[in-house]
Structures are given as C-alpha cells and as structure tokens.
Structure 1
Amino acid sequence: MEHYYRELVSFLCARLGSRQAAEDVAHDAYLRVLERTEGEQIEHPRAFLYRTALNLVVDRHRRHQVRQCEPLEVLDSDDRWQVPGLSHELQLDRRLNLMQRALDELPPACRESFLLRKIEGMSHPQIAQALGISRSLVEKHIVNAMKHCRIRMRQWES
C-alpha cells in the first residue's frame, strides 16, 4: 500500500491546498488503515485508503467550521483555556515520558525522520536531504514511527 502514498498526497493537496496538510492527512489515513486491517486482507486497498483519507478531510473540515463559529466569549468559560490542575499536568507529563520511551525504541533514522517532520515541521524532501536518504524511505519511517508510538502508548496506558 506504500506505493499509493505520493499519489494520495497529490490528490489530497489538490483538495486541501497545502502539501503539509495533505501529508498529515495521508499519514493519518495510513495509520487508520494499518490499525483497522492488521492481519486482514483488503480486497481493494487503494479505494479503502482513499475513502479513509477523504473521511479524514471531511472530519478536518467539520472541525475547522466548528472553530470558526464559536464566539469569543466561549473562551472565557472553556476549561481548555484555564490553568490545568496538578493532576492534569502530571497526566500530561506521564504521557510525554511514555512517548519519549516509545520514540527511544525506534531506530535512529526512523526517530529522526519523525521528529524532523512533527517537531521541526520539515517537508519530506527536506528531511530526505538532511538525512541523506530517499523521500520514499522518509515516508516509510514516519508512518512506522507513528504506528509504533500509537501501539506502545496503548499498551502502556491500558
């Protein structure tokens, strides 16, 4: 299914108007497909992947629409904007430590690709050039890192 990646990103880029947003949606789509279909054979993998990606685009659009419609007064009463309590901070700190543990388990190039993308916001070609690897390998590293971290976080939090 990895060979559909570039095609999917181009398809999404035309709809979202941003390569970065398209790559993010494509990563999320791959993760969802991989999580849902572990061990299962998909009859039409390309169609399944595209349908998943389009659903994510619709979800993204809906979230954006809701954000635009909220009046500013909502921010005053919304708990998300208040100073978090100590237990909430401890939970976030614990999750951050677990994420760091999961990232530490990854091979260096995989971890670095993921961090350059998610923390530094670098594009796939920029990461490929910085690490001296192919763009295709960068894409695989990022998808594998996301899948690994999600699996490990679920294991440790349950």
Structure 2
Amino acid sequence: MSGADLDRLRRLFTERYEALRSLVARRLGGASPELAGDALHEAYIRLTDKNGLAGVRHPQSYLVNTAVHAAIDRLRGDGRLLGEAEVNAFFDVPDEAAGPEQTAQARHDLARMSRALEALPARQRDILIAARVHGVPRAELARRWGISVRLVGRELQTAHEACVRAMQDPKE
C-alpha cells in the first residue's frame, strides 16, 4: 500500500470512527458497539495488508462493508465455540454406568433367564431363540421343524409365557 493510500485510510478511520462504528453496528442488526469496533479494527488490518483504498470510489462504504464481513466471519467462528456454561455441562453429566448393585442384579436376571430357557423343551427353545434373537421368519421355522406356521406361533407363545413366569417367580 502506498503512503498516500495508507494516510487516506488512517484519516477516514480516525476522523469518522464513531460514525463508522455506528454504521457497522446498524448493518449488523444492532450489534454491540464493541463488536462493531472490533470489526472496524479488523477491517483496518485487512485493508493495510492489501492495496487499501487504492482505486476505491467510495472509501467509507468500502470500509464499512469490509468491517461487516469481518464481523460476520468472527460471529461464524464464535458460533463453533462452546461457552463456559456449555463446557461445564459436559462435566456435570452423571455416570450412568452400572454400579455393583445393578451389575449383580443383571447377572442374577441373566442366570434366571438361562435356567428358564434350559427348562423349555428343545423345539420351543429353538423357536424362541431363532425367532427373537436371530429374526428367523415363522415360515422358515415351520419348514425347519416340519410343523405348521400356526403351531410355530403357539410354541413361541408358550415359550414366552414360560419365560415370563420364570422371571416373575419370587423363589428364583
């Protein structure tokens, strides 16, 4: 940037600073004067790094537009950052991992279910596991066992009821 262009930019910046800051704030939808001032300073730095105002017909408009773009860039960047409250919220998340009591209860329930499955007749156990765990269709199970689809449904229902009873049995 030539000395004359830099002088022109400095003069515009110093003589019209308050008016420029108000224009930038208004263009940003009533943004804070601090944001508008920071944007103006960023615009000044950008313009001194480039060719400044050389060949610009309306330097004030150019400076204001540059400042508005600088503010928008800053707001976009700030939008990607988390605030202090948001960061603190990450540390306030309760630990939902199972504690010793929940782990013991889950092991007990698993053992009960395993005993309930072992108590089922082989065909009911196979139908229940194949249908519910592996998602095998009833028609396939009927072919596998050489029975009707309706009988597969009944065996499945009977197996479910036996497992529910075993899990609800307080003696277990």
| Short-chain TM bin | 0.3 to 0.5
Higher helix share: 1
| Higher-Rg member (1/2) | 2
Higher-RCO chain (CA-CA 8 Å, sequence separation at least 6): 1
Q: TM-score, normalised by structure 1?
A: 0.46
Q: TM-score, normalised by structure 2?
A: 0.43
